[in-house]
Structure 1
Amino acid sequence: MLSAMIRCLGALFLTVLCTPLWADTVWLNNGDRLTGEILLLDGGKLALKTRYAGQVLIDWKDIDTLLSEKPLMIKRAGQDSEHSQSLEAAGKGMVRLVNGASETVPLASIRQMVPPRPLLKDRIWEGNLDAKLDMERNADKKDEWKLKGDTRVEHGRWRHVLSGQLENETKNGDRTEDNWELEYDLDRFLTPHWFVRGSYDQARDDFEFFDRQRSYGLGPGYRFWDNELGRFDLIAQLSRFELESAAGDLEFDAYSLEWDFKRLIWGTRFELYSKAQLQMPRINEIDYVLDSEFGLRYRLNDWARLSLLYELDQIRGQGTTVSDRHYLIGVGVGW
């Protein structure tokens, strides 16, 4: 009797452990029912993570009603996003939003549905780290690795952004690339869209004429959007550059324009992103300096990523344009 009770309690314990934290249910117009975890509604597609089929995409128009026990941000036609503690099934083509009080709305009126971003107390924290490793064993022995990462914390009217990269390359035992760069940005929001950014950047490259570089910047920025699906920021700054070399130093001011773009597509599997900075130094020798990157990440799971990145660095001065292109294929983590 006692052993049978222990077996029953053990089975119950395992069942509790194996049960998903959130149990969402979707009823289709044809009578089928799917259970899993709602990841995202965007572009007329509902991404549902199931235990038996992985992530599936469902046409929003094929859904009869649904139920969710998890908090969600709901975007309806002609309205701002609103928070819902849970969703309850409410008959054909309808759903009930529960957040203290409840409201029954047509499914057709809902345009977007996403889980709230992770909060660290009153802070929003996110970031990515991508890595590339390339080893060639042909006529030459060449080893190359590169790390790129960024993270941001937003709380109240303040946002902190930290980004950096490391790159190292050796050929037949001799170094051919060795550089690093670190940038810190501090944003103060004046309105939900307008903000002021202060920036500090420091870099070192042992294989460039100016092997050390520092810059300070200040200027306005505009946030077009920043939500669970992505962001788009545009920033203009006046910057001060300090370049150092063994032959002498150089200081000058520059105007700069920067953008920061990220967007989730096809449910939550793919992420398009781009960052670029166009600088126009106030010296006659250089017309402009462009530092840009465009990439695509494929989300293997909640934290692992496959990444494809294209970098274009360009300098134009005295009628000559010099371009430097890099391609990075690697793996990374996101949070």
Structure 2
Amino acid sequence: MLLRTPLCLLIISLAAPVWADTVWLNNGDRLSGEIVLLDGGKLALKTKYAGQVLIAWKDIDTLRSDKPLLIRRQGLDSERSNQLEAAGQGMVRVVSERTQTVPLASIKRLIPPRAVLQDRFWEGNLDAKLDMERDDDDTDEWKLKGNTRMEHGRWRHVLNGELERKVKNRAKTADNWQLEYDLDRFITDNWFWRVGAEHNEDELAFFTRQRSLGTGPGYRFWDNELGRLDVVGQFNRLQLETRDTDLALNTYSLSWDYKRLLWGTRLEFYSTAEVQLPDIEQIDYVLDGEIGLRYRLNQWARLSLLYELDQVRGLGQSSSERRYLLGVGVGW
């Protein structure tokens, strides 16, 4: 009997999930979970009973966290805490190299530190758009855009894909797909080297098929719970095919990948773009860019708004194609 009780307690403690963070509200309620981040006056708390919830920072009386957090206070640089302890109404005790009690109102941001070189990290998005018009013209259009990235150790894999179909009055007006794969090897915590390949096919375009293979250095400015910014410069070998002939040329490119979570992770702003400079006189540059917003409906569903710009300049003239896409998607 004496051994049975501690044995049962041990089994229960091992089976139960560990929720190390606790938040006390001004109305006396208490919430337990895991702090995702604090930004824009909203604390994102992941709970086992209600998923991720957003709490107004001004409604919090005090809190406790047993895990390290990066703290940004008004007028001060970011500092790392070993843990946070509850310390009375509107206050919290920051335990680090020097323990101090500070007002909650002075804290503007909390971010769990993410290891720059991780054992394994995977994220991605898949967005879909469907447009059906029945007026003077019958138009059916659908488009899928997806991306995913996985990191393990000093390696990172990035995959992007796109598929578009459009039919107007039973005549096909768009039929194309695109697939791009990049492999990054981190040399330091910020510098990496990229090797990438891309394949495009467009049944109705002048160049029906495009292939490219490129390599070059990249720099990661930051990558944390709030977002990321990567910039990559590459040398590329591009092959273009038409129904009659083929063309091969070299290009130099500069690309970026930016993401920023807002409003306690509920809203995501992102932008990706690539500028290519071909080594032929007829073309000055080729720009392929997009800017978008994703609104989190729940843990996995997203509402997305996207603006795309494709632009080519050569022989003193510019040609641009702009698209606005509204759709739904999933994220992980």
Residue of structure 1 in register with 2:305 after alignment: 308
Name the structure 1 match of 2:319: 322
For residues 191 and 267 of structure 1, do their structure 2 counterparts lie closer, same or farther at Cα, with a shift above 3 Å needed? same
Aligned 8 A contact 2:181 2:196 in 1 = yes
Give 1:1-335 correspondences, 5 Å limit: 22=19, 24-28=21-25, 32-35=28-31, 37=33, 38-48=35-45, 55-59=53-57, 63-68=60-65, 73-75=69-71, 78-79=77-78, 87-92=84-89, 93-95=91-93, 106=102, 111-114=108-111, 122-335=119-332
Q: Deviations over 1:25-52 (max 9, x none)?
A: 4235x56434254442124542347879
- CA distance in 2: counterparts of 1:138 and 1:186, whole angstroms: 46
In the TM superposition, residue 257 of structure 1 has moved relative to its aligned partner by 0.6
Q: Deviations over 1:238-288 (max 9, x none)?
A: 111000111200011111110100000111110000000000100011110
Contact 2:240 2:247 in 1 (8 A): yes
Residue 286 of structure 1: SS of its match in structure 2? coil
Separation of aligned partners in 2, 1:237 and 1:290: 15
Question: Contact (CA 8 Å) 2:184, 2:194: kept in 1 or not?
Answer: yes
**TM-score, scaled relative to structure 1:** 0.81
- In structure 2, the partner of 1:10 is none
Would the alpha carbon gap of residues 25 and 172 (structure 1) be closer, same or farther in structure 2, given more than 3 Å must change? Answer: same
| Structure 1: segments with no counterpart, 5+ residues | 1-18
Q: 36-45 vs 74-83, which deviates more? A: 74-83
Relative to structure 1, is the Cα distance of residues 169 and 113 closer, same or farther in structure 2, using a 3 angstrom cutoff?
same
Q: Distance in 1 between matches of 2:320 and 2:290?
A: 13
Q: Which amino acid aligns with 2:329?
A: G
The one-letter code sitting in structure 2 at the alignment partner of 1:210 is: F
Structure 1 residues 330, 36: closer, same or farther in 2, change over 3 A? farther
TM-superposed deviation, 1:74: 3.0
| Post-superposition offset of 1:116 | 6.9
User: What is the aligned-residue identity percentage?
Assistant: 58
C-alpha distance 325-81 of structure 1, shift in aligned 2 (>3 A): farther
Q: Write the deviation string for residues 150-170 of structure 1: whole angstroms up to 9, x where unpaired.
A: 000111111110001000011
For 2:119 and 2:36, the matched residues in 1 are separated by: 23
Distance across 2 between alignment mates of 1:171 and 1:312: 22
State the Cα deviation string for residues 165-196 of structure 1 (Å, max 9, x = none): 00001112221100000000011111111111
* Alpha-carbon contact 2:42-2:54 (below 8 Å) kept: no
Q: Contact between 1:65 and 1:89, CA under 8 Å: does it hold in 2?
A: yes
Distance in structure 2 (CA, Å) of the matches to 1:72 and 1:201: 40
Structure 2 unaligned residues grouped into runs of 5+: 1-15
Q: Distance in 2 between matches of 1:197 and 1:224?
A: 15
CA distance in 2, matches of 1:261, 1:137: 38
Distance across 2 between alignment mates of 1:165 and 1:289: 19
Q: 1:237 to 1:81 in 2, by over 3 A?
A: farther
1:108-155 CA-partner distances (Å, limit 9, x unpaired): 57553345779xx92110010000000111122211000001000111
RMSD of aligned Cα (Å) = 3.0
Distance in structure 2 (CA, Å) of the matches to 1:292 and 1:313: 7
CA contact (8 A) 1:309 1:329 kept: yes
